[in-house]
Each structure stands twice: as structure tokens, then as C-alpha cells.
Amino acid sequence: MQSLMDPKQKMEYIVNLSKDYENVRQLHSKKKGATFISIDDARKNKLDLEFKPKKPKFVGRRVFKNIDLNLIKEYIDWSPFFQTWDLHGKYPDILTDKVVGKSALICLKKHKKC
């Protein structure tokens, strides 16, 4: 910035800056970009997929009656339950967490009593 204050240095600075910019322009103009094909050639070369989705066996809501929930309790992800109580972490790692592990364990034990 000080070179811009002195009239003699100002001219030198401007000349050098112009040379630098000209050099950058030259380098940029010599760059080779990606080669593109025409849109017609691209359309001729399109990916041809034959996708035929299968009709689902059942559409709607399925109700399971008289199922013991103890069969699936090991597969439940309790992470959203803990997030509701502002105890953020992934289950079961949250139970051994240094910060929220104790609270998460208490919360889970209280819930499982119900």
C-alpha cells in the first residue's frame, strides 16, 4: 500500500501489476478445457435401462395382534427416545457416555418399568 502513496513507486507498481495480469490472461487463454460432444450425439449415447417395478404383495396398513413385544425389544433403536430428553448420542453407546451416560441409563430403566 505504501508503494501507491509515492508517485514514482505508484507507476512501477501499476506497470508490474499490468504485466502480472497480462501473464495471467495468457496462461488462462492457453488452458485446454473439457471437450464436449453435441447434444444429438449425447442423446444417441444415452443410458438405456429397462426398469419394471414389481407390484407390492400388500398395500396398506398391516396390524399384528397378540404379538409379544419382548420378541422385538432387542431390535428397537432407543436413540430418538433419548433425544426427546435432550440426551444426545447413539444407542447403546449413550449408556456408557461420560457426560450423559448416567442420566440415559436412569431414563431407560424408568421407561422399561412401565
Question: Would 24 be classed as within a structural domain?
Answer: yes
Per-residue pLDDT tens for 61-77?
Answer: 988 888 888 888 788 88
Between the alpha carbon of residue 64 and those of residues 3, 67, 69, 89, 114, the distances in Å are: 82, 6, 11, 31, 22
Would you say how long the chain is, in residues?
A: 114
Confidence of residue 18 (pLDDT cuts 50, 70, 90): very high
Question: Would 60 be classed as within a structural domain?
Answer: no
pLDDT at 42: 94
Q: Domain limits at 29?
A: 2-33
b/e code 30-47 from CB counts within 10 Å (16+ = b): eeeeeeeeeeeeeeeeee
What is the C-alpha to C-alpha distance for residues 83 and 89, in angstroms, rounded to an integer? Answer: 8
Total domains present in the chain: 2
Question: Would 11 be classed as within a structural domain?
Answer: yes
Question: Would 20 be classed as within a structural domain?
Answer: yes
Question: Would 100 be classed as within a structural domain?
Answer: yes
pLDDT at 112: 75
Using a cut of 0.85, tell me whether the model's pTM lies above it: no
